[in-house]
Amino acid sequence: MIDFKQEVVNAIFEVSNGLDKEEIESLIETPPSYDMGDYAFACFRLAKIFRKDPKSIAEELTKKIDGGDFFEAIENVGPYINFFINKSKLAETVIESIKERGAKFGSTNMGQGRKALVEFSSPNIAKPFHIGHIRSTVIGNSLYKIFKFQGFDTERLNHLGDYGTQFGMLIAAYKKWGDMEVIESDPINELLKLYVKFNEEAEKDEELKEEARYWFKELEAGNEEALELWQWIRDVSLKEFNKVYDLLGIEFDSYTGESFYSDKMPRVIKEMEEKGLLQESEGAVIIDLEEYGMPPALIKKSDGSTLYTTRDIAAAIYRKEHYDFYKNIYVVGSQQNLHFKQWIKVIELMGYDWADDCVHVPFGMVSLEDGTLSTRRGRVVFLEDVLEKAIESTLEIIEERNPDLNNKEEVAKEVGIGAIIFQELFNNRIKDYVFSWEKTLSFEGETGPYVQYTHARANSLLKKGNFKLDEEIDHSLLNQDNEVSLLRFLYQFPAVVTDALNKYEPSIITRHIVEITKAFNKFYNSCPVLSAEEELRKARLMLVYVTKVVLKTGLDLLGIAAPDRM
């Protein structure tokens, strides 16, 4: 595909006499309106070189610049040189590139030979898979797809919370009040009841907290009874979690949780000791991080048990040795910012030069309309319930609007779940938000169903128009404002995908495919397709086709299906 920005750089380089190409590129801007051109070059920096005012420089350079057939006009306005892309050339490069690359349009080989690990979802065993978990789950899945799309050898890691003090609580609670048959009939709800009850009783009775600590220590020491109960709780929990992953269409390459690293921590602690990093503090073992503006990293508690920090360090070292990653990405809420800064700093202090390749991708919190989520108090909205309700609501809409649709249940699933995922990925990931059934299940405005419906509409147009991909078209016919606007958004798609990868931000893609959808619908409403004369009809059908391809690719990068009919 022609890189028009690079052609602007080349054109200015030929006449600027003193600027290198990198500097020229840094001075190129995108004007606020296409009436002012597709690209603008500011001449302020040239004033010292040419010893003239920027306006005069812009006038002189504009007369010398040869834009070839890439630009239909090059004009100067004050100190700026404005470049207007040749519309026919734009149509040709966009359409032919998408025809050639298909679903790969926008992908690169930037990740070739590089391993990227994406850790996401990572729910705690024996706790509800609630609406708060959806953010890590769908952001992480989208990042996995984006990195894979850009040629990285990418692995999906589900670092299950299957270790820690809560297992001491659960084992103690089960031994006091548990019933295996009752729990197996409804694992997560029943385990949650035990967990909530234990926390309520422990607030009144300190001895219960001691029991929890005792059983966790026994678990770490390999007590047979503790291990059997732990394995059973893990198995029944994972079976429930997989129901949600199946609904979301998400898979993992590894379910290796915290427990996997329990036998790898002694080696890591010994290494820290040998490197002189450890200190004792009130019976606990810490690493002092005061000079880096952080509180100490707690490595071992006073009772000898380990913590998240120790396990995350052991996990990172194992992953580097096992995968030799280029990037080790953690999609974990922003409330863990300090935790990640601490253990990544410890990795650096241990002398590992790959510490900076461990990347924390934080996201904002989810709260309910009447307050925050709290597993300890049983205040949760189950994610499976949210997804099932979205499917049911969508099916009701389909029954009302298109009762004869084939595969109604399948389409309802694709659209309902797509609506949930799209809403999660529409706003910048770092923003907190309040979960609302009404907003989540709305199908109006900038939503997943709006994009999916546009994809289905494009598909219908192609069928009605008996579209043939191998037909030659006259690209110059696509010159109406709404046609050119749509072509511009399609042209920008590869850069948008790269930007989303570099910023670990799927919402950049989400918002862009909404803009493509809006542009397509303006084109559809203002430019007749099926009733146009033959050559124009063929050109417009081709524009419909390439839009459909990009919308499908964009939705796929978000983890959302693109139904052909709705």
Instruction: Clarify whether 133 is annotated catalytic.
Output: yes
Q: 133, 159, 320, 552: which one is catalytic? A: 133
Whether the per-residue pLDDT at 378 is higher than 70: the answer is no
Backbone torsion region of residue 17, taken as left when φ is above 0, otherwise alpha when ψ lies between -120 and 50, otherwise beta: left
Neighbours of 15 (CB within 10 A): 14
pLDDT level of residue 380 (50, 70, 90 thresholds): low
pLDDT of residue 452: 95
Secondary structure (3-state) at 121: coil
* pTM recorded for the entire structure: 0.92
Distance CA 180, CA 169 (A): 16
- Answer yes or no: 159 catalytic: no
Q: What pLDDT sits at residue 45?
A: 83
The pairing of beta strand 115-119 with beta strand 327-331: parallel
189-198, 223-232, 277-286, 373-382: least confidently modelled range: 373-382
C-alpha distances in Å from residue 142, one per residue of 333, 429, 498, 500, 558: 16, 12, 13, 10, 5
Q: 63 in helix, strand or coil?
A: helix
| Active-site entry in 48, 63, 115, 130 | 130
Average pLDDT of the chain, as a whole number: 92
One of 87, 89, 127, 300 is an active-site residue; which one? 127
Q: Return phi, psi of residue 388, to 5°.
A: -65, -40
Question: Once rounded to an integer, what is the mean pLDDT over residues 465-491?
Answer: 96
Domains within the chain, CATH numbers bracketed? 4-85 (3.30.1360.70)
| pLDDT band of 537, cuts 50, 70, 90 | very high
CA distance 49 to 18: 7
Compute the average pLDDT of residues 541-565. Answer: 98
Going by pLDDT thresholds of 50, 70 and 90, the confidence category of residue 10 is very high
Q: Please, are residues 23 and 115 in contact by the beta-carbon 8 Å criterion?
A: no
DSSP 297-347: EEEE-TTS-B-HHHHHHHHHHHHHHHH--SEEEEE--GGGHHHHHHHHHHH
Q: How confident is the model at residue 502 (pLDDT cuts 50, 70, 90)?
A: very high
Is 455 one of the annotated active-site residues of the chain? Answer: no
Whole-number Å distance between alpha carbons of 39 and 265? 55
- The tokens for 128 are 């509800």
Q: Beta strand pairing status for 327-331 and 279-281? A: unpaired
Residue 372: per-residue pLDDT:
52
Distance CA 6, CA 68 (A): 13
Taking a C-beta distance cutoff of 8 angstroms, is the pair 492, 564 a contact? Answer: no
Question: 20: exposed, middle or buried (C-beta count within 10 Å: 0-12, 13-18, 19+)?
Answer: exposed
